[in-house]
Amino acid sequence: CIGDHECLKRIVERKYLSCTVNPQVGMEREFTLRPADKKKSVLVVGGGPGGMEAARVAALRGHQVTLWERDKVLGGNLIPASVPDFKQDYRMLIDYLSTQIKKLGVTVELGKEANAELIQRMQPDVVFIATGSRPIVPQIPGVKKDKVVTAVDLLLGKKKAGESVVVIGGGLVGCETALHLVRQGKKVTVVESLDTAARDMYKANRLHLLKLLEDEKVQIMTDTSVLEVKDEGIVIAGKEGKKSTLAADTVVLALGMQCND
């Protein structure tokens, strides 16, 4: 359990029960794991949570499984997600999945990037593509300035935040990154184009997170669009279209993810 309460959110919304981590929840009969009738060679491309779970289940069913991961470690986007001290349950999930595939005899090759030639040379019976996602970078003027960094790269330590930070995007990632930064002593403002922040979270989690941000004096500006990134900060416009400049040493992008396929 990683504590995101997706299960409770589904119940409140009167949908069938499901779990972020365990796809069998609520569908145990349909997803009962049985030994495969014919054992196959399986290649999983990608060592994030999806790839590791695919490898785990395939190995449990008796297949011969190989997993290729481009990076030097397993975990994918769970790695940056587990950086804040209040997200350590995500690290436990990485440890669980990596331990399980090791116990099941999955061949793991780190630092190996897949391409068509390598896959054809291996000639597996089945290939799973689990290459994850990357941050969305908006096409706005100034977005390539050095002061701009994605939330993923910031959490991975590829860039350091200055003392004054603006987070563009008030979803789950943006709000949690803001909380992480303010607890490091940074002055943080979150800019969100919609009328509410963290709107897709389960209500109890959302209210708790927003209260923590309020207690830490994080300003959340909703109904606000970002027009440009300048040396001194960002140019924003409210619902009425009035422009102003918001000062920032660092601009963090938290605008969702796009598929790597």
Decide if 27 is inside a domain: no
State whether 90 and 160 are in the same domain: no
Pairing of strands 64-69, 41-45: parallel
> 178 and 233: one domain?
yes
Question: Do 65 and 111 lie in a common domain?
Answer: yes
pLDDT tens across 171-180, in order?
Answer: 999 999 999 9
- The domain in which residue 159 lies consists of 135-259
Number of domain units in the chain: 2
Examine the domain organization and report whether 139 and 225 are in the same domain.
yes
Residue 6 within a domain: no
The reply to whether 122 and 168 lie within a common domain is no
Q: Which residues contact 96 (CB under 8 A, 6 or more apart)?
A: none
Residue 220 and residue 139 in one domain: yes
pLDDT score for 261: 76
> Strand, helix or coil at 225?
strand
Q: Could you tell me the CA-to-CA distances from 134 to 74, 98, 131, 199 in Å, in that order?
A: 16, 22, 10, 21
Across the chain, the runs of DSSP E, i.e. the strands, are 41-45, 64-69, 107-110, 126-129, 133-135, 148-150, 164-168, 187-191, 219-221, 225-230, 233-237, 243-247, 250-253, 257-259
CATH code of 238's domain: 3.50.50.60
- Which amino acid is located at 92 in the chain? M
| Cα R_g (the chain), whole angstroms | 21
Q: Which residue, 63, 52, 46, is CA-closest to 126?
A: 63
Bridge partners (DSSP) of residue 258 are 134
- Single out the residue in 86, 103, 131 at which a domain terminates: 131
Looking at the fold, whether 197 and 154 belong to one and the same domain comes out as yes
Q: CB of 198 within 8 A of CB of 209?
A: yes
Per-residue pLDDT of the chain (261 residues; tens, 9 = 90+): 998 999 999 999 999 999 999 999 999 999 999 999 999 999 999 999 999 999 999 999 999 999 999 999 999 999 999 999 999 899 999 999 999 999 999 999 999 999 999 999 999 999 999 999 999 999 999 999 999 999 999 999 999 999 999 999 999 999 999 999 999 999 999 999 999 999 999 999 999 999 999 999 999 999 999 999 999 999 999 999 999 999 999 999 999 999 997
* pLDDT number for residue 91: 94
Supply 109's token pair. 């090759």
Q: How far apart are CA 108 and CA 99, in angstroms?
A: 11
> Is residue 86 situated within a structural domain?
yes
Of 131, 165, 185, which marks where a domain is finished?
A: 131
DSSP-derived 3-state class of residue 202: coil
Select from 93, 112, 131 the last residue of a domain. Answer: 131
* Same domain flag for 193 and 97: no
Residue 144 shares a structural domain with residue 254: yes
Q: What is the pLDDT of residue 90?
A: 93
Model pLDDT, residue 159:
96
Residues 80 and 154 both lie in one domain:
no
Let me know: does 113 contact 70? Beta carbons within 8 Å: yes
Distance CA 173, CA 175 (A): 6
Residue 61 belongs to domain with CATH number: 3.40.50.720
Does 17 reside within a domain?
Answer: no
HSE, side-chain direction, 13 A CA sphere, residue 259: 4
The pLDDT value recorded for residue 100 is 98
Residue 52: predicted pLDDT: 98
Contact 176, 209 (CB under 8 A): yes
Check if the beta carbon of residue 135 is closer than 8 Å to that of residue 150: yes
Query: Does 169 reside within a domain?
Result: yes
Same domain, 187 and 107: no
Same domain, yes or no, for 118 and 228? Answer: no
Tell me, yes or no, whether 216 lies in a domain.
yes
Answer yes or no: is 20 within a domain. Answer: no
